[in-house]
Each structure stands twice: as C-alpha cells, then as structure tokens.
Amino acid sequence: MNRLSSTLLSYTERYPIDGFDYRLLDSGNGRKLEQFGEHRFIRPAPQAIWPATLPKGEWNEAVSEYTYSKGKDYGGEWHNRPGLPKDAWRLTCQDLIFEIKPTGFGHMGLFPEQAAHWLWIRDFLKSLPDDSPKNVLNIFGYTGASTLAAAAGGASVAHVDSSKASVNWARKNLELSGLGDRTVRWYVDDVLKFLKREHNRERFYEGIILDPPTFGRGAKGEVWKIEKDLPQLLQRCRNVLSREPRFILFTTHSPGFSALTLKNMMLNYLVEPNRGQFDAGEMYLHNEEQGYHIPSGFYSLWWRD
C-alpha cells in the first residue's frame, strides 16, 4: 500500500481510528455485531463465513436485529428489543457528527467503512495551499459524510442525491458538526441529469467523490444501473473536472467492481496516467479485537499534491 505522504495516511494505515464511536465488535455466521455510538445492533454480513468469537451475552445486548426476508440477500425487517431509543442519536468521528437511526433496508444513516476516506478528504484538502481552488462534488451523497469532510477541509461543496430525505439528513449533519457556515450547495436531482446541467453551466471541480450504488432511482424515478450507466457517468464527471484536478475518490459496493476495475475506469475516463498518484484496494469494516475485518466494497483514490 502506498503512503500518501508523511502526514496523509492511506486507507489501511488509518485504522483503528481515534475518536470514532463506531466499532465492529464481532462477526460470524453471516451476521455482524456493531456499536453505533451508545447502541448495539446486529445486521446481516453474508461475507462473514466464519464462527462468531464473542459470547452470546455480548450479542444479546443488541437493541435491534435486521434480518433479510427468507431466501433474499436484500430487503427485510428490524426485530427490536428493549432499549432501542425512540429518537435518533449521535455518533462522532473526530470533528464530524452524524445523526444515526435505523432505516429500511437495514441501514443506519452512515457507511462506516468509508470513515478512513472522510479523514483523508478532510486532511488532504487542509494540506493544499490556501490559494488553490477547492471545489468538491459529492454525487450519490446520501447523508453527507464525505460532504462534511470536504467542508471541514475548507472546500466549497456541491452535494447531489435523488432522495430529499437524505439531503435533509445531510444538512442536519452539517449543522450538528458546527459546519453550518460553510459553502455547500444541495441538489435533490438525478446524478446524470445534474452532471449534464452542470457542464452546461460551466462549473468545474477540483475534487470529485462518487459512490454509485448497484441500482438506484433519480429524483423523478430515472433508473440507475451500474453496469449500464457507469461509462456515461464517468464521461460526464470528466466534463466537469477542473483542468487542475486535485483528487477523485471512486468507491463501489457492487460485486465484480473491484479496485482494479475502478482504477482502470478512472484511467480511461478521468485522469492522465502519468499525473498524480493512486491508492486502490478493498474497503472493510475494521475489527480491532479479533482481526476479522469485513469486506465492504472497493475504492480507487487518485490525487495530486
């Protein structure tokens, strides 16, 4: 794994992360036990094909468990236990503060495997000279973790997601983190349509963060399918990339879209091979105690100091 520089640590080197109140406590038998701030949850982890380590008593402290519907590996339901709070609560990752609550599809409002990237984005942007432009685009932005990180690093950010509820959640997270005075433009829009408009408006970005899902829908029901739409997405990202780009972070959670695939696509569509540096690899939920990290997608990061 490359070192980014003496002060900017790469993905693997950032773990364990100080000041992060998320922990993967244990995993096994297709499930994971996670601590989100004050509360414990059990969620499916089909990749955890090994026995659990912690005693049952530890797992029994979870306040809710999400299980998939029979025979499926998506869509299911929560089984709440005593102790589940009625209201959302907070989770901190250093200076970034997030509101957490269980949602449909077994999500919690945060993808903790991205935590190393949030810190990298923040620290990289801070490390750039004060007079260098820092316009960052975060597409498929969800509840805004990377947007907060970029804002904390001093960037002007454009955040795009098709879900109004997610954008509102992201705005709340920005306020909670004390970053409400930063320049963030919020768009509830279909990513492909947004990129076309942004190109017509001649807006350009020094940093682009993209985390496309396998399947999704735009704000007006437009269908997004990664295997069909990715080339067009990257081409449109290229159209809004500054002539002096600083970084691109491309992540996926889709089977087959490995680190090499992402890197090859970035080289084809977005960056010149001999300019800048790459760090690409597997994302995971870090487990400190037993060392069984859970694979959670891939990343390819390109940057230029």
Provide the minimum distance between the beta carbon of 194 and ligand SAM in the complex, in angstroms, as a whole number. Answer: 7
Contact residue for ligand SAM among 41, 224, 278, 302 (CB under 6 A): 224
Q: Which is closer to ligand SAM, CB of 224 or CB of 247?
A: 224
Sign of dihedral through CA atoms 18, 20, 24, 25? positive
Residue 216 near ligand SAM by CB under 6 A: yes
Q: Which is closer to ligand SAM, CB of 170 or CB of 265?
A: 170
Q: How far apart are CA 11 and CA 6, in angstroms?
A: 14
Stretch that binds ligand SAM, among 19-27, 84-92, 158-166, 236-244 (CB under 6 A): 158-166
Provide the minimum distance between the beta carbon of 214 and ligand SAM in the complex, in angstroms, as a whole number. Answer: 9
Stretch that binds ligand SAM, among 6-14, 95-103, 136-144, 178-186 (CB under 6 A): 136-144
Q: How far apart are CA 174 and CA 192, in angstroms?
A: 25
Stretch that binds ligand SAM, among 21-29, 176-184, 208-216, 262-270 (CB under 6 A): 208-216
Provide the minimum distance between the beta carbon of 11 and ligand SAM in the complex, in angstroms, as a whole number. Answer: 14
Which of positions 166-205 make contact with ligand SAM (CB under 6 A)?
166, 190-191
Count of residues that interact with ligand SAM, criterion CB under 6 A = 22
CA distances from 272 to 41, 145, 203 (A): 43, 28, 21
Provide the minimum distance between the beta carbon of 178 and ligand SAM in the complex, in angstroms, as a whole number. Answer: 19
Nearest to 35 by CA among 296, 285, 290: 285
Please list, residue by residue across 275-301, b when 16 or more beta carbons sit within 10 angstroms of its beta carbon and e when fewer do: eeebbbbebbbbbeeeebbbebbbbbb
Which of positions 89-128 make contact with ligand SAM (CB under 6 A)?
111, 114
Provide the minimum distance between the beta carbon of 265 and ligand SAM in the complex, in angstroms, as a whole number. Answer: 17
Stretch that binds ligand SAM, among 68-76, 92-100, 154-162, 257-265 (CB under 6 A): 154-162
Provide the minimum distance between the beta carbon of 57 and ligand SAM in the complex, in angstroms, as a whole number. Answer: 32
Nearest to 193 by CA among 151, 226, 157, 161: 161
Provide the minimum distance between the beta carbon of 141 and ligand SAM in the complex, in angstroms, as a whole number. Answer: 6
Residues whose CB is less than 8 angstroms from the CB of residue 303 and which lie 6 or more positions away in sequence, other chains included? 4, 124, 246, 247, 248, 276, 277
Q: How far apart are CA 76 and CA 253, in angstroms?
A: 19
Provide the minimum distance between the beta carbon of 223 and ligand SAM in the complex, in angstroms, as a whole number. Answer: 8
List residues near ligand SAM by CB under 6 A: 111, 114, 140-143, 145-146, 160-163, 166, 190-191, 211, 213, 216-218, 222, 224
